[in-house]
Amino acid sequence: MALHAPYNFVPLSEQVFFPDWAAGVTHDIPLAEGVCGWLDITITAHTPIMIGDENQEQGTEHRFFRLPDGPYAIPGASVRGLLRNVLQIATFGKCSQVDDTRLSVRDLDDDAKHFYRDYFVTSTQPIQSKVKAGWLRFKDGHWRLDPCEYARIEHDDLNAWLRLKIDRKKAQSAEDKYQALHSTRNGLQLRYVAEMHDHQKQTKNGSTFTLRYPKVKRLDPADLDPASQDGSLVFTRQPESSKKHMEFVFAAPSQKSIVIDDQVMREFLAIYGATDAWQWLHSPNNPHGQRGIPVFWLGGGAPTSLGLSQLYRLPYEFSIWDMIRHTSDDHFSDQLDFAEGLFGTISENGQNARKGRVFCGDAVLEGEPRWDALFEGVLNSPKPSYYPAYVRQTPDRQHPQKAVVRREGDKPIFATYAKPAGGHKKPTINGWKRYRARDQLIEPRVGEGQENVLVRFTPLATGSKFRGRLQFHNLKPEEIGALVWALTWGGKKTLRHLIGMGKPFGYGQVSMEITACELRPNRCDQPTKSDPAQLNEFVKSFTATMDAWHQAALGGAWAASPPIKALTEMARPAAAAHADSDGNHGYPVLDPKGSNEFQDAKKDGWYLQPVSS
């Protein structure tokens, strides 16, 4: 199967356009060539449209946004955000309005060996874990780690020695196991004897390998064996029908406590902070009390990462910002790009803050509302950690639709957010995410077990029209042209914007028409203009500005550049029919009790194909 999705990406530019006038343009000082005025726009829905009410309480049932005095409307902020995003891309702007997230991975597949498994275990036999253990505590204003030794203990031995009843076929949280132990009247503290144990395992192809780890051989409550030591039982989650057959015993702290680096702790909390396991262990109910929270960690003298299980989610080397920088440092420049100068920007130090000069009013529904059929579907999308879609891949020469930089046996090797293997160039993100316009709605596919995350809404019908006004102050001619180009796609009437909920399924496809305007030049000796046809001259000024910059900076025509071609191609409904020729145009299905098309595509080496025109 090829990887399919209702979205794709506009590639980032290796150079950002910083207009030479941007730094000098302000809201307060009139430009000699500046113009003030307004544009009246009509927004027409070409598919059913749903604009969710942000003031509505959280839930699965959504209602359409309406103004305090009653009319249904599209908020001005939504129109402004749509226009800014289009212009940020079309003017080769900075891709920096994203959180600097460091994603994480837990992937036991063979093709993830170089960016996951190799961090946790040795590569030569006998295979041993590189993971260490310790007790996490917050003391004197810092998170601290008390390192300790640890050993494994069999479920069968726990069941026999402590009268536990751990069923490997049944899913159990760590909290469930702790409570089960408490019900036996046995405590977590025990005295034990551990020895190194060699465990023979066989791979799917019939070869064998040896795992070596310390294992509890017996409990020694009488303290007769000089090799015995004190420890605490540590339980971790039991997946359903799992091969997991052991728990852990953490010894008493064996080293001086280590102050954990703030960044390491932030990454740990970003992964685990909202989980039930962390919420429970980081509460007065923690069964280990003053000793702390049992954690696993990697690193030399100090931890570089932490987790709540032995094979925990590992933060990638590169954050989202790192990945963008791999394309160009321009994206984090202090200089103002085209969209920042037009719509305004804020900055941490306040030095580059600019007030916007474009203001969008609410677009109010014209006439009585006409409603379409109820929508029921899952709106969750793959997260950026799904690298076959979000990270730029190098195609296999023999199979261009597969991402293979090199092969180990028959396994594909993807570019990820990790340091590349074999000296390959640093990975980059695919670019600006955009949903495709399409000529028909997609029927949502709901996997078994997803009923509890269904989203329901009733959209306004195709043909609904909204009227609003866009006002601007002290704009240059090319800036007015940019707004008109973004609103109307440069006059291409077959292209669509997407707005509101349900975009992955084709909802919210709209066109925008300028029905009236007023253009008041700052110079008193120039007349006010009110004919929308006169806006074409401003569009020509904008496209000439972009073309001149593109020719000088990157070579070739701006309109023929990969970003502009991808941006406009995804706005063309007819293009989706060609892209979906294999019949797959929605999200891959994730069925907890059946197929996992995300995983299947990754195992087979498929990646999301770039937009072609």
Higher pLDDT, 241 or 571: 571
259 and 134 fall within a common domain: yes
Range 387-396 average pLDDT: 90
498 and 428 fall within a common domain: yes
Q: How many residues does the chain have?
A: 613
C-alpha span between 509 and 495 (Å, rounded): 9
Q: Is residue 423 part of a domain?
A: yes
Give the pLDDT band of residue 439 (cuts 50, 70, 90).
Answer: confident
pLDDT value for 591: 59
pLDDT value for 395: 82
Place of tokens 């001005």: 76
263 and 326 fall within a common domain: no
Q: Which of 251, 283, 315 is the last residue of a domain?
A: 315
Q: Which of 284, 315, 346 is the last residue of a domain?
A: 315
Q: Is residue 2 part of a domain?
A: no
332 and 272 fall within a common domain: no
Q: Is residue 171 part of a domain?
A: yes
Q: Is residue 613 part of a domain?
A: no
Q: Is residue 610 part of a domain?
A: no
pLDDT exceeds 50 at position 405: no
Range 299-321 average pLDDT: 96
Q: Is residue 612 part of a domain?
A: no
Range 515-532 average pLDDT: 94
C-alpha span between 327 and 14 (Å, rounded): 6
C-alpha span between 308 and 468 (Å, rounded): 52
C-alpha span between 83 and 510 (Å, rounded): 13
Q: Is residue 611 part of a domain?
A: no
Buried (b) or exposed (e) across 142-156, using 16+ Cβ within 10 A?
Answer: ebbbbbbbbbbbebe
Which residue, among 307, 386, 320, has the nearest Cα to 120 in the 3D structure?
Answer: 307
pLDDT exceeds 60 at position 407: no
- Which stretches of 426-534 are DSSP H helices? 477-488
3-state helix, strand, coil in the chain (%, to 5): 25, 25, 50
124 and 95 fall within a common domain: no
303 and 431 fall within a common domain: no
412 and 468 fall within a common domain: yes
C-alpha span between 25 and 439 (Å, rounded): 41
Tokens of 145: 């780690």
Tokens of 256: 């001086």
386 and 450 fall within a common domain: yes
The residue segments making up the domain with residue 165 are 105-315
Please give the angle made by the CA atoms of 101, 107 and 112, to the nearest 5 degrees: 100
C-alpha span between 557 and 550 (Å, rounded): 7
Which has the minimum average pLDDT: 17-21, 470-474, 578-582? Answer: 578-582
CA atoms within 13 A on the CB side of 539: 14
- In sequence order, what DSSP letters do the residues of 104-138 get, joined into one string? EE---SGGGIIIIIHHHB-SSSSEEB--EEEEEEE
Q: Which of 285, 315, 345 is the last residue of a domain?
A: 315
278 and 138 fall within a common domain: yes
Chain centre distance of CA 497: 22
Range 241-255 average pLDDT: 89
Find the helix or strand (DSSP H, E) in which 159 lies.
Answer: helix 155-162
311 and 326 fall within a common domain: no
Phi and psi, residue 28, nearest 5°: -100, -30
| Number of compact structural domains in the chain | 2
Higher pLDDT, 568 or 398: 568
Chain centre distance of CA 444: 21
pLDDT value for 410: 62
**pLDDT per position as a tens digit, 63-98:** 999 999 889 999 999 999 999 999 999 999 999 889
Which residue, among 221, 220, 223, 214, has the nearest Cα to 246 in the 3D structure?
Answer: 214
Q: Is residue 65 part of a domain?
A: yes
Find the helix or strand (DSSP H, E) in which 276 lies.
Answer: helix 276-281
**pLDDT per position as a tens digit, 411-424:** 777 899 998 876 67
Place of tokens 């080397």: 317
237 and 374 fall within a common domain: no
C-alpha span between 239 and 242 (Å, rounded): 5
303 and 222 fall within a common domain: yes
Tokens of 98: 């994203």
Distances (CA, A) of 138 to 146, 280, 299, 312, 428: 11, 16, 20, 21, 37
Q: Is the pTM of this model over 0.75?
A: yes
